Amino acid sequence: MEKNPEQYGGIYKELAELLGDAAVVRIWKSYAGLSVTFPMKLYSKEYIREFIREHHAEMKPSEIGRVLGLSERRVRQLIHELRAGAEQNTEKTQNGGRKSEIGEE
């Protein structure tokens, strides 16, 4: 097959421009006739929390939001939740002398 996105119709043309002919044919073979909806959320809740846990010290909430596709407000909410969880873990482990970082157990 020649590489020419113009040969495809509709969404397949857009996919060919983004992904190439081979990917379009694979997608077509796997999903032809089905309606596919892509959720707005790309990342899992677990990944988002882990990313924030690892990067909140060196990145601004607005930067984290841009990377993850979240609002700055939501990033700040998650940082607050992670800190609250870390404080609870610290209280539980003080008898053992262990202090945890933000959200780590």
pLDDT in tens, 8-33: 999 999 999 999 999 999 999 999 99
Give CA–CA dist 104/44, Å, rounded: 18
74 with 90, same domain: the answer is: yes
pTM (predicted TM-score): 0.66
| pLDDT value, residue 50 | 97
Q: Is residue 91 part of a domain?
A: yes
Contact 22, 6 (CB under 8 A): no
| Cα–Cα distance measured from residue 12 to residue 21, given in angstroms and rounded to the nearest whole number | 9
Are 49 and 13 part of one and the same domain?
no
Residue 88 forms part of a structural domain: yes
Give the pLDDT confidence of 85-95 residue by residue, as tens digits.
888 877 777 75
**Strand, helix or coil for residue 53:** helix
Interval 65-82: pLDDT, tens: 999 999 999 999 999 999
Residues 54 and 29 in one domain: no
Q: Is there a single domain that holds both residue 21 and residue 59? A: no
- Answer yes or no: do 34 and 63 share one domain: no
Domain count, the chain: 2
What dihedral angle (degrees, nearest 10) is formed by the CA atoms of 10, 11, 12, 14? 100
Structural domain contains residue 105? no
Residue 1's CB is within 10 A of a number of other CB atoms, namely 8
